[in-house]
Structure 1
């Protein structure tokens, strides 16, 4: 894979590094949020930026596909997504969501991700795209390996990184989040009383691992219209094992 190099600076942020454990041969779509003031700026997906902390190896630019990587910008939602296909062990490493500002690429510390590609991922989901009707409910099943059995289980909203833990949490007058851990390497998330504002990206999280999930909320009594912001990709069904 050919790289372009771009110099950069870092913004300090208190949110820690995100780590993903992904299955060999799978595809993954990851959301990258940005401030609305950067809506007209160039977006990048970079590799191994943490090696020297002063340059970025660009894998793909916004709204382009390069080799196995596609970056798609959604200005109306102040986010871009990147899709990596046919993941291999050699793809393991540090990656960054980046925005070019004044000719310099700005990397936000809370948007760095460390990807580990292996045959048996330590965290996965049964479905990475789910949908429900307004006023209804939707469930997500998150699978984890035995080493994470005692770690805290969470469901986090991507755009503001607000997280819910095991138990029931009322998110508004009508909607609620219920997280249940069966203690046998699986925890489930149920969102009920869905509202249009609940639509978007979320992360299943346990310990230091996360995996993204996209939620579509359909209008009540309407035909299904898939408004997911990610490119169409095969859904990967994988079990987390020791």
Structure 2
């Protein structure tokens, strides 16, 4: 059993009731929390823990009206539940005799004696967990470990006990399995909200309390995701066909959040870069002059002839004249009719040797 386990003890403080000797096993170095129940009429009274074997000579360890102490003890009072809790830390073999007490003005204080059996090895009686949670309608099993075989019981504080292999406590079925060595397993079946409370394993003179809390079993809330439809208030998605579908929730591990965020950022930057390149490419195409189609070109014919006035020059020959012609062609590629003289432009180029 781990050193950090906390042991719980509960006493009902009733005036005039002789409490039987109660021994609570504990391990050295561990912490002990002692919830002490009291009657509602003592709700506004001072509660305290008294240390010592004899009541008349015990000394205050800690009180609810004074939180001063060595740090070994702490106390709190829950007036709604009528219970005050005392915690003792760093137990030693000398921590043995204590009293839970309620201060009574003009009268004798109400008190209950208990003894801690602190050992350096395995305690005489212990459970795996002092705080147990069960769900409504389901079962819960508590394992009570012991060193010496004595009469084994499972009891509810202030109520009845089950001593055989089966029984009932407040309408809840209890089964006790004693087949394993040095342990008896208690199974409570069909838990109800009223099953919540304090119980304890009993093995001879030793008692080990266990607090049971019964709650409704939590359900995983569906993830509300909107697709092409409408999101409902119950976490359902209304599809385009009018059908409802429920989406289960899948928790994303924290270790994946940063890589996913980085990936999304890289993809976004890449898409933006491609978008900019596309815009630049489109602008470059708009600024390039398009080639003219051959059918859209107009051809003209220009004929250069010698001027009669220049024929007398013996120094010039036909080689000094450049003839150029342009033939008009329609868009269907057919030549127009022959050009007339008035339609011809003459150009003379003299070549001087």
TM range (shorter): 0.7 to 0.9
Among candidates 164, 167, 172, match of residue 166 of structure 1: 164
- State whether structure 2 residue 127 is matched by structure 1 residue 128: no
Contact 2:124 2:146 in 1 (8 A): yes
Cα deviation code 1:37-62 (max 9, x no counterpart): 101111111111x42x3243111123
**The one of 202, 207, 214 aligned to 2:204:** 207
Aligned to 2:74: 70
Residue 13 of structure 1 deviates from its aligned partner by 2.0
Paired residue secondary structure (1:54): helix
Q: Is the 8 A contact 1:31 1:201 kept in 2?
A: no
Among 42, 48, 51, which residue is 2:46 paired with?
A: 42
Task: Please identify the structure whose Cα radius of gyration is greater.
Answer: 2
Partners of 2:16 and 2:197 in 1: how far apart? 26
Q: Helix, strand or coil: the match of 2:109?
A: strand
1:166 Cα shift? Answer: 3.2
Q: Deviations over 1:5-60 (max 9, x none)?
A: xxxxx944244111012111111222211111101111111111x42x32431111
Q: Is the 8 A contact 2:19 2:113 kept in 1?
A: no
- Give the total of aligned pairs: 204
- Partner residue of 2:104? 101
1: CA distance between counterparts of 2:219 and 2:45?
36
Q: Which runs of 5+ in 1 are unaligned?
A: 1-9, 224-242
Measure the CA separation in 1 of the matches of 2:193 and 2:49.
29
Bigger relative CO (Cα 8 Å, ≥ 6 apart): 1
Query: Which aligned segments of 4 or more residues in structure 1 are displaced greater than 6 angstroms?
Result: none
Relative to its length, the structure with more strand (as a share) is 1
8 Å CA contact 1:65–1:71 kept in 2: the answer is: no
Superposition TM-score, scaled by structure 2 size: 0.53
Q: State the shift of 1:221 in Å.
A: 4.5
For the 8 Å contact 2:161–2:169, the answer to whether it is kept is no
| Richer in helix (by share) | 2
TM-score (normalizing by structure 1): 0.76
- Structure 2, unmatched stretches of 5+, are 1-13, 221-353
Query: Do the aligned residues in 2 keep the contact of 1:202 with 1:215 (CA within 8 Å)?
Result: yes
- Partner SS, residue 41 of structure 2: helix
Distance (Å, rounded) in 2 between the aligned partners of 1:182 and 1:60: 44
Query: Matched residues in 1 for 2:170 and 2:205: separation?
Result: 28
Equivalent in the alignment of 2:223: none
2:189 paired residue number: 192
Which residue of 20, 27, 30 corresponds with 1:26?
A: 30
Call closer, same or farther: CA 1:155–1:30 in 2, change over 3 Å: farther
CA RMSD between the two structures = 2.3
- Deviation, 1:207, is 0.4
Q: Provide, for residues 180-237 of structure 1, a one-character-per-residue CA deviation record: whole Å limited to 9, x for no partner.
A: 22351111111121122221222211100111211111135468xxxxxxxxxxxxxx
Relative to structure 1, the CA distance from residue 193 to residue 168 in structure 2 (aligned partners, 3 Å threshold; closer, same or farther) is same
Q: CA deviation at 1:177?
A: 1.6
1:97 Cα shift?
Answer: 0.9
Q: CA deviation at 1:170?
A: 2.1
